[in-house]
Amino acid sequence: MTEVQQIVEEITRLVEPVVRDEFLELVEVEFHPTGGRWFLRIYIDKDSGVTIRDCERVSREVERILDVEDIIDHPYTLEVSSPGLTRALKKKSDFERYKGKRCRIITFSFLDSKNEFQGEIGEVTEEGVDIKTENGAKMNIRHIPFSAIKKAHLEFEL
């Protein structure tokens, strides 16, 4: 595990109770350099949508905790925001929550000569997710194991 992965894990452990106390969901924590500066991005969500006030409250609490814990050696910028309309799908519960919505999944390796799948989220099992795709007038269902998913996110729908 890299130093950055350890920092992300520790921040996640520290931040999750704060986010939960605000009746929010911690979607993702990112920590990486961009243009010579480090960024700590924390994505939060809730069913009714995240407000600026939600972001401000979480940001203040996270700053306080990180000042006390002092786990980041680099100067960094903290950003707390909503994951947006094309939010990442990371956990089984994410796929269950957005069943029936369109998504894009990229796999680590090729499955049936493809490593990118777009379609509607179908059934979700312990092992993976079904993606419904249209091929002309024909509907195809492809089961994708969670272990094969490199990246997944919702697609913007008009």
Displacement of CA 68 from its chain's centroid (Å): 26
Range 114-141 average pLDDT? 90
Q: Where in the chain do CATH 2.30.30.180 domains reside?
A: 92-154
> Which of the pair, 122 or 137, is modelled with greater confidence?
122
Give the residue range(s) of CATH 3.30.300.70 domains in the chain.
3-81
Range name among 2-6, 7-11, 22-26, 135-139 with the lowest pLDDT average: 135-139
For CA atoms 16, 1, 63, 78, give the dihedral sign: negative
Q: pTM here?
A: 0.77
Residues paired with residue 145 on neighbouring β-strands, in sequence order: 128
Tell me: pLDDT of 127 over 90.
yes
Distance, in Å, from the CA atom of 61 to the CA atom of 20, rounded to the nearest integer, reads 12
How would CATH label the architecture of 92-154? Roll (2.30)
Question: According to the model, what pLDDT value does residue 158 have?
Answer: 67
Q: Is the pLDDT of residue 36 over 90?
A: no
pLDDT digits (tens, 9 = 90+) for 69-90: 988 888 899 999 998 888 889 8
- Tell me if the domain spanning 3-81 has CATH number 3.30.300.70: yes
